[in-house]
Homo-oligomer: A and B are copies of this chain.
Amino acid sequence: MTRNIAIVVSYDGTPYCGWQVQPNGVTVAEKINGAIASLTGKRSKLYGSGRTDSGVHARAQVANFHTEFSAPAEKVVPGLNAFLPPDIRVLRAYDVDDDFNARFCAVSKTYEYVIQNSRVLSPFLVHRAYLVKYPLDTGLMNEAASVLTGVHDFTSFMASGSYVTDAVRDLSRLEVRREGDIITITASANGFLYNMVRILAGTLIYAGCGRLSCDDVKAILEKKDRSDGAPTVPPDGLYLKNVVYQGEYSYVV
């Protein structure tokens, strides 16, 4: 009998060419596909909540696959982990209804962008945070963030060359907090455009050092053009924090 299993996966994206299977380089989904085949004896199609780019990390990515594998869901966690490298870990597994799809049932996602605001990047944050050496004012960053929060056309915050017919997204949360020299930008939305979080982070960094005012940020947003904005910051600091599902699947976290 076929069942549908949802898994919550955490990974250090450093050595991977992103989530999505592709011909040139090892990807996270490819590793999970291999583990599913090894555990269940059959290949399954894996549906991720969305792609993460090369070098981007995940604290709780969600994916699902249909399988005839009959062991209880709680056995799937150690079962898959036994076939996965230590930098990819299945944290949880659930039996879900046949119509659950990790991508299409996702209601919102939260990303974090981690900055170390210091002269020297910690050895423990290599490939895991973005070093900004000049002082950042998180008050200024939060003021700029409030300009961007809400329902907007985010064309100015989408990688140029992206082909999306509708760039309107509901950025329900964009917040900056500091603990010591670590600054974390948290962004939640019903969907993100290509490179959107990394461009938002680059914009807030420019705001935090006074290079962009709130009026500048507003003008960039209204221009609906990527060419004049702040730079896209590296993937190293980017983490898919979680994916939210509503109603009956809200336990998938």
User: A198 at interface (Cβ–Cβ under 8 A)?
Assistant: no
- How distant is the Cα of A63 from the Cα of B11 in the complex, in angstroms? 35
Total count of chain A residues near the partner, CB < 8 A: 21
The segment out of A122-130, A143-151, A245-253 that lies at the interface is: A122-130
User: A109 at interface (Cβ–Cβ under 8 A)?
Assistant: no
- How distant is the Cα of A123 from the Cα of B32 in the complex, in angstroms? 14
Instruction: Assess whether B123 is in contact with A90, with CB atoms less than 8 Å apart.
Output: no
Residues of A79-105 whose CB lies within 8 A of B: 81, 86-91
Instruction: Assess whether A88 is in contact with B11, with CB atoms less than 8 Å apart.
Output: no
- How distant is the Cα of A10 from the Cα of B86 in the complex, in angstroms? 24
| A59 CB, min distance to chain B CBs, angstroms | 8
Q: Among the listed B57, B86, B89, B122, which residue makes an inter-chain contact with A89, where contact means beta carbons less than 8 Å apart?
A: B122
Chain A interface main SS type: mixed
Report B-chain residues with C-beta under 8 Å of the C-beta of A119: 77-78
- How distant is the Cα of A122 from the Cα of B86 in the complex, in angstroms? 8
Instruction: Assess whether B87 is in contact with A120, with CB atoms less than 8 Å apart.
Output: no
| A82 CB, min distance to chain B CBs, angstroms | 11
Nearest chain B residue, comparing its CB with the CB of A81: B120
Report B-chain residues with C-beta under 8 Å of the C-beta of A81: 120
User: A121 at interface (Cβ–Cβ under 8 A)?
Assistant: yes
Instruction: Assess whether B77 is in contact with A12, with CB atoms less than 8 Å apart.
Output: no
Instruction: Assess whether A123 is in contact with B77, with CB atoms less than 8 Å apart.
Output: no
Chain A 29-62, CB within 8 Å of chain B: the 1/0 string? 0000000000000000000000000000100000
Instruction: Assess whether B12 is in contact with A87, with CB atoms less than 8 Å apart.
Output: no
- How distant is the Cα of A34 from the Cα of B220 in the complex, in angstroms? 48
Report B-chain residues with C-beta under 8 Å of the C-beta of A90: 120
Instruction: Assess whether B123 is in contact with A87, with CB atoms less than 8 Å apart.
Output: yes
Chain A residues near B (Cβ < 8 Å): 10-12, 57, 77-78, 81, 86-91, 119-124, 126, 128
Across chains A and B, which 3 residue pairs bring their CB atoms closest together, nearest first?
A12-B123, A87-B123, A86-B126
21 contacts between A and B (CB under 8 A): A10-B122, A10-B124, A11-B123, A12-B123, A12-B124, A12-B126, A57-B123, A57-B124, A77-B119, A77-B120, A78-B119, A81-B120, A86-B121, A86-B123, A87-B123, A88-B123, A89-B120, A89-B121, A89-B123, A90-B120, A124-B128
